[in-house]
Structure 1
Amino acid sequence: MAKIQRLDPHLTNMIAAGEVVERPSGVIKELVENAIDANSTTIEIHTKQGGIEQMMVIDDGDGMSAADATLAFERHATSKIKDVQDLWRIGTMGFRGEALPSIASVSNVELKTNDGNESTVVEIAYGKTVKAGPVGTPKGTQIIVRNLFQKTPARFKHLKSAQYEFSLVSDVIQKFALAYPNIAFLLMNDEKISFSSSGNGNQQEVIMNIYGRDIAKSAIAIEGSDSDYHIEGYAVQPSHTRATKYYMLLFVNNRMIRSFRLQKAILDAYAPYTPSDRYPIVVLNIQMDPQLVDVNVHPSKWEVRLSKEKQLEFLIKETIGDALRKKLEVNKVVRQERFERVETPSFSFTYDQPTTESLQPQKLHQEINESFSNYQTETQTSETVVEEEITTVDQTIETVEQTPIQPIPTADEVETEPEVEVEAPTALNPSFPNMIVLAQMHKCYILAQGDNGLYIIDQHAAQERYHYEEIQKALLHGVKDKQDLLVPIMIESTNRAVQQADAINALLEELGIHLEVFGENSFVVRSLPIWVTDVEEEKFLQDMIDIYLKNEEVNIEQLRRLALASMACHSSIRFNRTLTMQEMEQVIEDLRKCEQPFHCPHGRPTLIELTLKELEKDFLRVK
């Protein structure tokens, strides 16, 4: 008796549903992709209970004929591809012909569609056709999915709360809106609007709808091309970061994808400006010949395979890096409004009106006592000041009486000196503000005044940036001279490091450093480059070995940057050190000479700006 048998079509659809449809957000993704392929300009998404109870997608696209509406629920029935060659140049969102039959096998689906010639309704309940026939409906398509996984308890129990499921739906729709700013999206949950976009083609406006005005204003437009790829989108200033990598959004030919290697290229571009545990906000669309990308990797279509992927990584890193270098801004202090203005009646009094809070009996009594105490103190102080001023005046009169009167020189006798024009120092980076040092705070921060407001400079981070660029310039100009050490440096390491000595040296020798194996788990260094100064050499060299062992794929560019960052850190002004006014001015002057003065080599900000506008808000001077 044969053991192998052909599975029932309904069973195969249910198996496929396990890959295509995992939760409501997966259903919505498939339905919206179909709406996009139908040339829709407006797409509405309505959910109940986060999509667990019901999902509805309405579009104004091309619609379907009666025959196509019925055939669409057959497995592998699609209008997107016709032969093998089409599989290697896919330009549509859908193409597998699995989504609708898979969804209909695990839910109740009702489809209404109008192609401009005829209107059709098709209803399928858990794989069985309930009805199919004519119906009145506007041009386009409306599809309703009810009771997802109600008859498959093993899948239904893995759904989470309605709020969580809807958050995933919302995330998918927002990504669609970013990929297709020319399509108007409307998302409603339980009859309440959650998200909408105008469809006017302005991607920055969509970013504002999703992330807020501050993020949108700080978004830098990016665009770059090579012989195979064209990339465009927005990279947000490094002052706005997130704790997860899910804000780096990637689209290939407007298809949302996930790619670890492309995300790493973005992180490499942001590395000089952000700490290692923070992630940027980037929206990046990659346009390419469809033949360079294989989207037929997984039924969910999140994963793709790219030809010439390293070439694309380089383009992304260089394009974003160049945009950040040109348009980097000072980190600003952004805070929530801490005070509320209390509106009071307007009278023709010459003094300010009391707030409603101050009119409370207990508070009013307390403030009267405090005011009286303050009045006594101020009165005593005023009397003392007056007595001191009288004494000073008397002394001044005596001095004047004793001083002989000098004759007033004529105009011809007065020698005039030529006026000297003092020019403000020019910063290497045009975005760097002019500042006047005010004071040092807590032996850690330098306070300075500028045209826009108050600047707070991290004295250690600022010196790190300056030293980093100075050492970098020396290396770029080929300064690789070495100096022999009077006493060789011994470095205790591990057997694993010794076994990889050749690979480590292949990188370190580019920096002018050579490790000589000395025993089973140690090295000896007999000379160092002249730029290795004012540091603990043994600790610095140990850091270099650890960097390689932690990431054996590190390249010379990364190692050089990490080496310079470590060197700059060790040789910079530390916290808890009192600085003179001259030293503080020198810190700012050094920072002014930097090409990228706003972040230390580890990505932390060197200075932040508290604008006059923010101060005016705090002091309730802005109406």
Structure 2
Amino acid sequence: MQTVNERQRVEVLKDNVARKIAAGEVIDRPYSIVRELLDNAIDSGADKITLEIKQGGIDSIRVSDDGCGMTKEDLELCFLPHATSKIRTEDDLLTTKTMGFRGEALSSIATCARTEILSNTSDLGYKLRIEEGKVKSLQPAPCQQGTIIEAKELFFNLPARKKFLKRPASETSLCRTTFHEKAIPFPNIEFRMTIDNKERDLLFKTTQLDRIKDVYNDKIETSMLDELDWQGNGYSIKAILGKPGLNRKDRKYIQVYVNKRKIQEFAFIQAITYGYEQVLPGGVFPVTFLFIDIEPHLIDFNIHPAKKEAKFRNLNEIHHSVVTMIRDYLAGFSIKETQLPLNTYQKELNNMEVKQVYKKPTSYLPQQNTNKYELRQESRSFSQAFEYVKSTKPENKFTYLGQSMNLFLIFEMDSTLYIMDQHAAHERILFEQYKNDPGTIQELLIPERIEVPEESEQKIMAYKESLNKAGFKISQESEGIWNLEALPSRVASLQNTIIQFFISPEGNSDDLMVDLYATMSCRKAIKDGDPISAVTAVDIIDKAISLPVHRCPHGRPIWYEISREELFQLLGRLL
């Protein structure tokens, strides 16, 4: 905790410094007051902070702390515009580490609510009463060290603004959300919140992971959270990451804090979703809390009135670190740990037609073929196919049971039943082939002339070298006009798909080739509804179980696993 001598006194900033500060927002809702008062309490060096609201904060908002407190001289200045103890010169804006620094919060609050401040620095306390920005009284008052600030009757003097407030329940919800946002990045401080004289939150000092669990224990499965740390050049990252099975249909629980402030930085949200891309399907988002501590000279918060945005001098570096950290974390999960809960699985297994045991081969089919599936459809009878397969010398065994619904390949291995999505599996097989070996290059007799919009042209120019290495020879004829002169022979039939990819401004700029290979694989792979032979099915299974990633390039799982024990439980049998 700070002592009186360790902190600076409150002073009114000089005009040349005040003009450098981004304009503060007017207090428009009770949660705005909660945000500003909690920031001040945190900056005071408090160990304990209590928030009390009544009627959604419309009647009263009271924040008390056991921080360093203010002297009588501080109280005489603290409610004036640009009065602060946080900074002195414009250079301080580049190095400040406090939650607040503009000196506008108390001034704004004091103009729209009846405000009382009771504070003590460890000696004699004083009580200040302000209405409409003017001092009503300042007199000695006994109190413990720290500060208590209460704002009553919000907008008592601004009825036009008061009529825009929501119902107390709605305002309460916003205040509580703000309280959580301030408490989450400070697990070293004890926070309490009471609503209409009833205690709603009691957050003891703890670790960062446990603070998340304490706040969201009734909202998410907190046992599925892990904590990771990353050290960069001038910054560090602490990430609370949800296991792949912990996901949602919205981004509500993707939260980013930079230097203890929750910010809205799309680049980091994108980095998180991109990191989870290969284990979560489209439209599903992870649960992730990101805490970035960065040296003050590498960031500028003085661009948004509520400090919800910032400018970064090393944004790309941090973005890359976030993606790498998440992908390294996810690499340790098996597909079993990422699949849906068993109670969502309701499949009938009675329509299986083929039941034979196949041994895992090293290779079944020729490397070259012209079939659109790149996996030869066999015309042999089943018995012939079985003899063909079993003639190889296997290392492992799996039992292929058949194809269901012209989509799912059913097989058994190691006392576990597998239901494989033939399209997703084949898509991943092709993706790995394209990524690792472009194959021979086919020159086009007549180059394909492509008209490219400006945003897409920037994408192509940035990755022209990578495209050429991958076998896509493309050159610029003039602004907005490009010529496709060659492409890998194995994707020659996808020429129109590739051209559309170049034209589209969509696609992840972080890894254009990954997006391109994913698009090509999806177009080329066996589709839902395609019947396939036993030999082709076995070949897909064999290749799929050896893949480095058991998900399609868009994040969907290749298969679903059900153990023997789970099947017994599902059907009510005793083991």
Contact 2:95 2:297 in 1 (8 A): yes
* Residue number in structure 2 paired with 1:360: none
The structural deviation recorded for 1:31 is: 0.8
Contact 2:464 2:474 in 1 (8 A): no
The structural deviation recorded for 1:610 is: 5.7
- What letter corresponds to residue 311 of structure 1 in structure 2? E
- What does the per-residue CA deviation read over 1:518-569, in whole Å, with 9 as the maximum and x for residues that have no partner? 9999987564213426xx423322332233x346xx64x6321111112211
Name which of 226, 234, 251 aligns with 1:228: 234
- Counterparts of 1:25-174 in structure 2, within 5 Å, are 25-174=31-180
Name which of 183, 188, 199 aligns with 2:205: 199
Name which of 456, 470, 474 aligns with 1:511: 470
User: Which ranges of structure 1 fall in alignment gaps of 5 or more residues?
Assistant: 1-11, 339-421, 426-434
Instruction: Determine if the alignment matches structure 1 residue 237 to structure 2 residue 243.
Output: yes
| Structure-2 separation of matches of 1:528 and 1:332 | 37
Q: Could you tell me the percent identity over the aligned residues?
A: 28
* Residue number in structure 2 paired with 1:540: 497
Q: Cα–Cα, structure 1 residues 321 and 74, in superposed 2: closer, same or farther, change >3 Å?
A: same
The structural deviation recorded for 1:234 is: 1.6
TM-score (normalizing by structure 2) = 0.76
The total of aligned residue pairs comes to 504
| Structure-1 separation of matches of 2:478 and 2:133 | 71
- What letter corresponds to residue 543 of structure 1 in structure 2? Q
Q: Secondary structure at the match of 1:136?
A: coil
The structural deviation recorded for 1:112 is: 2.3
- Counterparts of 1:175-324 in structure 2, within 5 Å, are 175-207=181-213, 209-210=215-216, 212=218, 215-324=221-330
| Structure-2 separation of matches of 1:473 and 1:157 | 63
| Structure-2 separation of matches of 1:505 and 1:42 | 53
| Structure-1 separation of matches of 2:232 and 2:331 | 20
Q: Cα–Cα, structure 1 residues 220 and 609, in superposed 2: closer, same or farther, change >3 Å?
A: farther
Q: Secondary structure at the match of 2:297?
A: helix
| Structure-1 separation of matches of 2:524 and 2:156 | 65
Name which of 514, 521, 529 aligns with 2:488: 529
Q: Secondary structure at the match of 2:321?
A: helix
- Counterparts of 1:372-451 in structure 2, within 5 Å, are 440-447=403-410
- What letter corresponds to residue 71 of structure 1 in structure 2? L
* Residue number in structure 1 paired with 2:4: none
Q: Secondary structure at the match of 1:326?
A: coil
Instruction: Determine if the alignment matches structure 1 residue 561 to structure 2 residue 523.
Output: no
Q: Cα–Cα, structure 1 residues 243 and 123, in superposed 2: closer, same or farther, change >3 Å?
A: farther
The structural deviation recorded for 1:498 is: 13
- What letter corresponds to residue 541 of structure 1 in structure 2? I
RMSD: 3.9
* Residue number in structure 2 paired with 1:6: none
- What letter corresponds to residue 408 of structure 2 in structure 1? Y
- What does the per-residue CA deviation read over 1:146-175, in whole Å, with 9 as the maximum and x for residues that have no partner? 222232234323323333322322222222
* Residue number in structure 2 paired with 1:593: 546
Name which of 401, 420, 429 aligns with 1:466: 429
The structure that is helix-richer by fraction is 1
TM-score (normalizing by structure 1) = 0.70
| Structure-2 separation of matches of 1:182 and 1:112 | 24
User: Which ranges of structure 2 fall in alignment gaps of 5 or more residues?
Assistant: 1-17, 346-393
| Structure-1 separation of matches of 2:548 and 2:46 | 47
- Counterparts of 1:321-336 in structure 2, within 5 Å, are 321-327=327-333, 330-334=337-341
Structure 1 residue ranges, 4+ long, deviating more than 6 angstroms after superposition? 335-338, 450-453, 516-524, 611-622
- What does the per-residue CA deviation read over 1:466-523, in whole Å, with 9 as the maximum and x for residues that have no partner? 2212221215xxx5x31245x75867x6575899598499364343223579999998
Task: Report the more deviating stretch, 199-208 or 493-502.
Answer: 493-502
- What letter corresponds to residue 445 of structure 1 in structure 2? F
Q: Secondary structure at the match of 2:233?
A: coil
The structural deviation recorded for 1:423 is: 6.8
Q: Secondary structure at the match of 1:235?
A: strand
Task: Report the more deviating stretch, 455-464 or 514-523.
Answer: 514-523
Q: Secondary structure at the match of 1:19?
A: coil
Contact 2:185 2:291 in 1 (8 A): yes
Contact 1:45 1:58 in 2 (8 A): yes
| Structure-2 separation of matches of 1:482 and 1:566 | 19
Name which of 431, 452, 457 aligns with 2:420: 457
| Structure-2 separation of matches of 1:336 and 1:151 | 57
The structural deviation recorded for 1:178 is: 2.3
Task: Report the more deviating stretch, 36-45 or 240-249.
Answer: 240-249
| Structure-2 separation of matches of 1:40 and 1:517 | 62
- What letter corresponds to residue 82 of structure 1 in structure 2? R
Q: Cα–Cα, structure 1 residues 494 and 307, in superposed 2: closer, same or farther, change >3 Å?
A: closer
Q: Cα–Cα, structure 1 residues 331 and 542, in superposed 2: closer, same or farther, change >3 Å?
A: same
- What letter corresponds to residue 49 of structure 1 in structure 2? Q
Q: Cα–Cα, structure 1 residues 93 and 520, in superposed 2: closer, same or farther, change >3 Å?
A: closer
- What letter corresponds to residue 523 of structure 2 in structure 1? H
- What letter corresponds to residue 589 of structure 1 in structure 2? D
| Structure-1 separation of matches of 2:113 and 2:217 | 34
The structural deviation recorded for 1:613 is: 8.3
